[in-house]
Amino acid sequence: MNPMRSPLLGRGLFRQSLLVRLSTMFALGGVLVATILLIGNRVLDDAKLRLEDTVIRQVQPLAATHRLQALSNELRALELELPSVHDVFALPQYAERMRSGVEGMTQELTPFLAALAATRPDDARRLEKHWLHYREDVEEIIRLAAAMDIAAVESVTSTRTRSAHAAISTTLRELVSTTEHAATDAYRQARDEQQQQQRFFLTLSLGGFLFLAAVLVVFARSLSRRLRALRDAASRLAAGEDREPIAISGDDEISDLGRAFNTMQDMVVSRERSLRTAQEELEDRVTQRTRALAMANARLWMLSQAVEQNPIGVLIANADRRVEYANAAYVRVTGRPADTLLASSLPKPADTDQSRAVDAEFRAALLAGGDWDGERRSRRPDGSEYWEHLRLVTMRNEHGAPAHVLLMREDISERRSQEEKVAYQAYYDSLTALPNRTLALDRLQQATGRASRDGTMCAVMFVDLDNFKQINDTLGHVAGDELLCQAATRLRSVIRAEDTVARLGGDEFLIILGITQASAADAAASKVIQAFTPPFQIEGREFIASPSIGVSLYPNDGDEPAVLLRNADLAMYEAKDAGRNTFRFFNQQIHDDSVARMEMERELRGALERGELEVHFQPLVAARDGRLVGAEALLRWTHPELGRVPPDRFIPIAEQSGLIVSIGNWVLDQACSHAAQWREACGGEFVMAVNVSPRQFAHAGLVDTIRACVERYAIPRNQLEIEVTEGLLIRNPGEVREAMLALEAAGVTVALDDFGTGYSSLSYLRAFPFHTIKIDRSFIRDLSEDAEDCALVVAAIRMARALGLRVVAEGVETEVQSRFLARQESDVLQGYLFGPPIPAQDFAADWVQNPARRAFSS
Amino acid sequence: MPSRRHLAPLLAATLCAAAALLPAGASAGEQAYRAVAAARKLVASGQVPTGTRIVLGFKQGNINAFLGADLALQKEWENLTGIVLDAHIVPQQPIRETLRSTPGFDLAVARNHEYPDLLADGLITEIGPLMAEYGYRFDDNGTDGYMRPDLQSRVGDHTVAIPADGDIVLMYLRRDLMEDGQEQAAFHKAYGRPLAPPRTWTEYEDLVRFFHRPSQGLYGAAEERDEEGAWMYWMPRFLSSAAPLAELFDDQMRPRLNTPGALAATENYVAMVKYAPQGITDPGRNYNFTLPLFAQGKAFTTMNTIAGARMFNGEGSAVRGKFVAVPLPGWRVDNRLVRQSTLIYGNNLVIPKTARNPRLAFLYAMWATDPDVSTRLIGITGAFTDPYRWNHVRDARIRKIYTPEALETFSGEWAAAQPAGTGLQGDAQYLAALDRNLTAAARGEIGAQEAMSRTSAEWEQITDRLGRARQILQWQAFRRQFGGRP
């Protein structure tokens, strides 16, 4: 049970409680105020009603009088206006208005006269009489107007109606004046009465309120004294001072409050003790928690600094996707302040189309509350573009519900740049910036696929620069590179943007065109040829570098890119054969030739094993005396079905297929073997000349093979001569020179074959350790007819002499040639004049074992 | 009875119901409904502010005719549309002078013959485009269509006025005298034929002469001989002087006033002066002088529009119940009677070029000339406007005001009606010359032949001044439009 209520429950309901006393007092006060208000209201209402009644009683007649005055004036104005009407058709209009005016006046006047008769009967009679006169006159005017007698109308209005209307106006003015005086008196009297009643009401109200105030003061003083005692006791309790129970007096709520206060004071003292104990325990726990909290704060500070200092932009949003935090790096990466909403945090994309899918994934992940990451090219507000890696992570609370969303953004522009650079280098030629072979083949694959889908065609052009090697050799690699760059530019300039120009390597370019008919490729190839017509400006000099172009068409010339490329290559060679600076379409003949070459290659591949190859030897004789000095080993192939295959047909195939390496080794071995056999018979000096192709030179073991052969057959120094062409020197001059020096060290000499047909640079002769030059048969053949050839041959011999080189003249077929060459001090002669290449046994029989012939061949 | 405050919505509802029930075309109420709806739309769309004022320029007697008694129709229009009507009384003079001197009217009244000059001078707006925009046309159907709208609204191909006053010339006779037995006997004895309304202008002169008794306070004729408007009473005499009708000009715009018919018409016109009161040819002795004479029983005959019947049938008229309106006489030409009449006066509505609210003025005019609304306007006492729609002549209130007999004659005379004036640009100049010379002849200053000769000469000068070629073209177009007349 509540101890505060127990004293109340034990007492009667009608004791002199505070509630009862207050209620009684307020009830009495209310009754007093209500009484005063009722009396006042009644008094004021009476005064107001009397005043209103006075005003109304006086104002109504005044208003009616004024209305009558206005109506009569209006009527008078109409009748005065009537004579001035100058259109008879307007007369009825005026008559009608006057008739209406008379009716209005009558209606207004009738009740007015009735009211006036009650108060002022004389005035009423006088006014009525005047009105009747005036109305008769007006009605006569109306009749005259209807009869269109304007003159009569004017007569009436200027005499009779004038006086009648004046009498009405005068009477009305008098009535107004009289009414105004009466109204003023009545109003003044009513106002005095009202003021008197107001004074009475104010006095009554003042007395009532003074009485009420006195009662309230007495009651309040009594109440205040007892409450002050309680307040002082409570203050002492609060201050912890004297806690003696307070004295209780009276029998009302305040005495109940005093008792309750004493009880409460006892309980407070008891609880204070308990609280003090609890406080001490609590302080210990607070100390412990504070320490733990400090540690947690330190850890949180560390983590927040980690996030704050992180170079990756971090943005944290709540479950409603409202952004709560973004670190400095976020602003640095995006170039703008963090957005309020996570959904709008994606900046403007640098490329809308490419970003569409990534943006969609981002938003989908955002909606689904899942994790996601992706890369996107974005644009900062300042316009700069950058690659960024976005990672969206949903952080969940202990219940697994999404609590926050973490968005990390990293500027990966540098990484992407490196990747793009690597990709570029993988697919583009660094010199010309054109697609390289890899990309070209990919483009070709795409082009054929597209043509297949669209039912169109695709042209592949294999372009080779005819004079590239000459320019490269003359001016060096830098100039060669410049030529390639200019050539690439020209090719690019004549090809449509959607087509491809690629550099396959060296001076080989590839053009891929999407076409609808073959004639388009024809036109394109012509444009390429045309583009190369102007000379190239390289290092201040002009050079002509014409293209040879081979064209293959998809699908006519092959389905596969490799086939198309090969066929274009074949066609290019056809263009070369056709004199260069032209183009050739891959055709059946090329195809057939290619097939034939492949067939030949296939046959050649087993020819050595089948014994179809044979080494023939052509004698080399001294120019001075015709003595046999050696032989040139020449490869011959006799096929069971094809018969004797010319060397110029199968040797290039062997060269291209690489068979030349094994065959060449075999030839070398055969040549050395026979040289060893024939040397003795020839007096110990027999030079065996063996042709070595560039392909053999490219093979790493050539020098070793030759050295081994020399050793195997004990070939004396300078009796084995390796013949090479200028083409070998061009490709790998450094390595070739090394090899030649190695051969020289091994006692093997080197001859420059076909001298005069190539570039025949003097620098070659100086740079490479040649021992012999072999003047090409083409110069020798025309010696008798062509003075120019004579001069060339003489110059070549003189030059070789000057350099200390031996001179061998090939293709000597007549005595005249032989004598001329001998006279010019050529060292060795070779040709059909002395003997054709023949098999080894024949050579042995005809030459080695024939002393006469050996001593003087012709 | 609905209060005045409820009258406007009630009318609007009635108009709406009528518009929904009646078929398309000119039908009672629909014309007004469409005008009100269009005006409200202009206000609702903000094109026209509420309270916009339409400035009306009406003559003294037009106020009731277009705004209603106690301005009831004005209040009705203003309640329906929110557009305020601001009526001004303009001087009794040709409207051309008013429009030239006082710009700013949105709507004004003009007489039929004034249209060509008003249009040529650029003083009025062509209303054809507005008619088309709001789907109106001047229908002449016999139910509630306009009476001869071709005569009252057009100049050539241009629609320039909204018909609002059917002013055609009628002849009024004293029926009580015509029916008097003694008078009949005396007349028969004197002229050898029964006393009857005249069929020819010659018979008319006989009648006038017979009843001309100044000593008894009765004049034979109270026909206007005022210089202003002299052509109105000469033209019917002239038009009927040839069959099928006489023409003022030939193909080359040479006046045809020296013809015998023109001379006879002029002589007949002049002859009436001697049967009229003293001073009939004095300036300003127009209908304000002649009509009261007849209304007071001081003349046997007079000529005026159907408005005369309204006046003579009024309460103050001495001839109320004693007069008859008859068709105008004609001439016998080739043994056949040719009768022609013409429009005179006319208070039709035109929109001045200087109007600030031409669209609203047009809509108000179409509302006021609606078959129902106009019937209420004409049916009030004190109005100036005369019937101009066929439903007007069947309305009981109007028949009571004008008398059924007069309205029957009025309706029949439209068949013989010809356009007012010359129909040409320069009409005012042509008519002024004619008026001046006719008045000179009426005053005895010159003979009839001389009057026609002088008029011909002046007309030639006017034509040359205005450009003969252009006038010929207009005249040809006018003749094509009205079938070989005037």
Same domain, A504 and A375: no
- Three-state SS string over B11-64 comes to HHHHHHHHHHHCCCCCCCCHHHHHHHHHHHHHHHCCCCCCCCEEEEEECCCHHH
In a domain? residue B248: yes
Give pLDDT, residue B200. 96
Closest CA to B292 of B316, B273, B270, B274: B316
Q: Are residues A619 and A560 both part of a single domain?
A: no
Q: Is the pLDDT of residue A221 over 90?
A: no
* Residue A240 belongs to a domain: no
Strands (E), A756-847: 772-775, 806-809, 828-829, 838-839
Residues of chain A with C-beta less than 8 angstroms from the C-beta of B291: 88, 148
Q: What percent of chain A has pLDDT over 70?
A: 96
B286 Cβ under 8 Å from any chain A Cβ: no
CATH no. for residue A671?
A: 3.20.20.450
CA pair distance B188, B176, nearest whole angstrom: 17
Find, in chain B, the residue whose alpha carbon is nearest to that of A84. Answer: B60
Among B336, B365, B383, which residue terminates a domain?
A: B383
CB A437: neighbour CB atoms within 10 A? 16
Are the beta carbons of A459 and A586 closer than 8 angstroms?
no
Does B307 lie at the interface with A, CB-CB under 8 angstroms?
yes
Q: At what angle do helices A659-679 and A702-713 cross, to 10 degrees?
A: 20
Boundary of a domain, candidates A559, A586, A613: A586
Which domain, by its residues, includes A141?
Answer: 21-212
Query: Which residues of A fall within a CB distance of 8 Å from B307?
Result: 89
Q: What is the mean pLDDT of residues B114-130?
A: 95
Same domain for A461 and A575, yes or no, is yes
A565 and A450 part of one domain? yes
Measured from the Cβ of residue B395, the count of other Cβ atoms closer than 10 Å reads 21
Distance CA A688, CA A676 (A): 9
Confidence band, pLDDT 50/70/90 cuts, at residue B207: very high
pLDDT of residue B21: 38
- Co-location of B223 and B363 in the same domain: no
Which pLDDT tens digit goes with each residue over A107-117?
A: 999 998 998 88
Residue A599: the pLDDT is: 83
Cβ-Cβ contacts under 8 Å, B229 against chain A = none
Alpha helices in A16-149 (DSSP H): 18-81, 91-119, 121-146
Report yes or no: A97 at the B interface, CB cutoff 8 Å.
Answer: yes
- Bridge partners (DSSP) of residue A615 are A635
Q: Which of B359, B383, B407 is the last residue of a domain?
A: B383
Give residue for tokens 């249009």. Answer: B119
Same domain, B462 and B481: yes
* Residue A510, Ramachandran bin (φ over 0: left; ψ between -120 and 50: alpha; else beta): beta
d(CA B327, CA B201): 11
Residue B102 has pLDDT above 80, yes or no: yes
Residues B95 and B146 both lie in one domain: yes
What pLDDT is attached to residue A36? 79
Say yes or no: B368 and B230 in one domain. no
CA dist A608 and A666 (Å) reads 9
Residue that terminates a domain, selected from A418, A450, A484: A418
Q: Are B378 and B331 within one domain?
A: no
Q: Quick check: is A232 in a domain?
A: no
Nearest CA-CA distance, residue B295 and chain A, Å: 7
CATH number at residue B32: 3.40.190.10
Cis peptide upstream of residue B329 (ω within 30 degrees of 0): no
| Together in a domain, B339 and B207 | yes
Q: Which residues of A299-317 are buried (b: 16+ CB within 10 A; e: fewer)?
A: eeeeeeeebeeeebbbbbb
- Which residues of chain B are within 8 Å of residue A92 when distances are taken between CB atoms? 311, 314, 381-383
Same domain, B112 and B201: no
Q: Is residue B268 part of a domain?
A: yes
**How high is the pLDDT of residue B209?**
96
* Residue A642 φ then ψ, to 5°: -80, -15
What CATH number did the domain enclosing A123 receive? 1.20.120
| Residue A314 and residue A380 in one domain | yes
CB B315 within 8 A of CB B237: no
pLDDT at A13: 53
Identify whether residues A289 and A314 lie together within a single domain.
no
CB nearest B61 (choices: A89, A144, A145): A89
Decide if A836 contacts A631 (C-beta within 8 A).
Answer: no
Chain A partners within 8 Å of B317 (Cβ): 146-147
Question: Is A673 within a domain?
Answer: yes
Has residue B349 got a pLDDT over 90? yes
Question: Least CB-CB distance to B315: which of A89, A90, A146?
Answer: A146
The packing angle between helices A659-679 and A588-610, to 10°, is 40
Provide DSSP, A479-529. HHHHHHHHHHHHHHHHS-TTSEEEEEETTEEEEEEEESSHHHHHHHHHHHH
| Interface confidence (ipTM) of the complex | 0.82
Interface residue A148 vs chain B (CB under 8 A): yes
Q: How large a percentage of chain B has pLDDT more than 90?
A: 79
Paired tokens of A277 = 């104990």
The mean predicted confidence, pLDDT, of chain A is 85
**Nearest residue on chain A to B315, judged by CA atoms?**
A146
Cβ atoms of A753 and A713 within 8 Å: the answer is no
B388 lies in some domain: no
Q: Flag if B311 and A85 touch (Cβ within 8 Å).
A: no
pLDDT (average), residues A716-732: 84
pLDDT of amino acid A12: 52
Portion 768-807 of A in contact with B at CB < 8 A: none
Residue A102 lies in a domain: yes
Regarding whether A182 and A66 lie in a shared domain, the answer is yes
Per-residue pLDDT for B132 more than 50?
yes
The two three-digit tokens of residue A19, written as one number? 């509630």
A224 within some domain: no
pLDDT tens digits, residue range B379-409?
876 666 889 999 999 999 999 999 999 999 9
Contact yes or no for A149 and B292 at CB 8 A: yes
In chain B, the number of structural domains is 2
Q: Is B92 on the interface with A (CB under 8 A)?
A: yes
Residue A102 one-letter amino acid: V
| Angle formed at CA A452 by CA A451 and CA A458, multiple of 5 degrees | 35
Residues pairing with A542 in the sheet: A537
pLDDT on residue B195: 96
B184 and B317 belong to one structural domain: yes
User: For strand B84-89 and strand A385-396, is the pairing parallel, antiparallel, or unpaired?
Assistant: unpaired
CA A54 to chain centre: 92
One-letter amino acid at A446 equals Q
Chain A residue with the nearest C-alpha to that of B296: A147
Domain-terminating residue out of B336, B359, B383 = B383
* A645 & A726 share domain: yes
Cβ contacts of A571-576, under 8 Å, gap ≥ 24: A571/A462, A572/A462, A572/A463, A572/A464, A572/A548, A574/A550, A575/A548, A575/A549, A575/A550, A576/A464, A576/A466, A576/A548
A418 exposure class (CB count in 10 Å sphere: 0-12, 13-18, 19+):
exposed
Q: Answer yes or no: do A485 and A533 share one domain.
A: yes
Count of domains observed in chain A: 5
- Average pLDDT value for residue range A635-641: 91
Query: Which range is least confidently modeled, A656-670, A761-775, B97-111, B241-255?
Result: A761-775
Tell me if A857 is assigned to some domain: no
Q: Which of A54-58, A386-390, B194-198, B473-477 has the lowest mean pLDDT?
A: A54-58
Q: Kindly state whether residues B136 and B214 are assigned to the same domain.
A: no
* CATH code of residue A332: 3.30.450.20
Angle subtended by helix axes B30-44 and B72-81, to nearest 10: 50
| Interface A-B: count of C-beta contacts within 8 A | 64
Q: B420: closest CA among B62, B165, B202?
A: B165
Per-residue pLDDT at A513 = 92
Q: Provide the CA A794 distance to its chain's centre, in angstroms.
A: 73
Q: How far is the CA of A810 from the CAs of A156, A209, A752, in angstroms?
A: 163, 157, 12
Contact residues, chain B, for A100 at CB < 8 Å: 70
Select the highest-mean-pLDDT range: A272-276, A438-442, B115-119.
B115-119
Considering only CA atoms, which of A444, A462, A459 is closest in space to residue A549?
A462
Query: Measured between CB atoms, does A146 come within 8 Å of chain B?
Result: yes
Same domain, A675 and A791: yes
Q: Are residues A325 and A384 in the same domain?
A: yes
Is the CB of B84 inside 8 Å of chain A's CB atoms? no
Query: Is residue B391 in a domain?
Result: no
Does the pLDDT value for residue B485 go beyond 70?
no
Q: What is the pLDDT of residues B275-291, one digit of tens each?
A: 999 999 999 899 999 99
DSSP state letters, B154-181: EETTEE--B-----B-EEEEEHHHHT-H
Instruction: Say yes or no: A88 contacts chain B, CB-CB below 8 A.
Output: yes
Contacts of B373-380 with CB under 8 Å at 24 or more apart are B373/B32, B373/B73, B374/B164, B376/B68, B376/B73, B377/B65, B377/B66, B377/B68, B377/B73, B378/B65, B380/B64, B380/B68, B380/B69
Same domain, A339 and A358: yes
Are B372 and B446 members of one domain? no
Residue A734 lies in a domain: yes
Residue B406 lies in a domain: no
Q: Of B140, B85, B96, which Cα lies nearest the Cα of B368?
A: B85
**Residue at B394 is within a domain:** no
Question: What is the torsional sign of CA A780, A785, A791, A792?
Answer: negative
Per residue in A805-828, pLDDT (tens digit) is 999 999 998 888 888 888 888 999
**Helices B4-21 and B30-44: angle between axes, nearest 10 degrees:** 110
Which residue range forms the structural domain that includes residue B109?
Answer: 4-162+348-383
Regarding whether B220 and B86 lie in a shared domain, the answer is no
Q: What is the pLDDT of residue A855?
A: 65
Residue B23 clears pLDDT 70, i.e. is over it:
no
B296/B229 same-domain check: yes
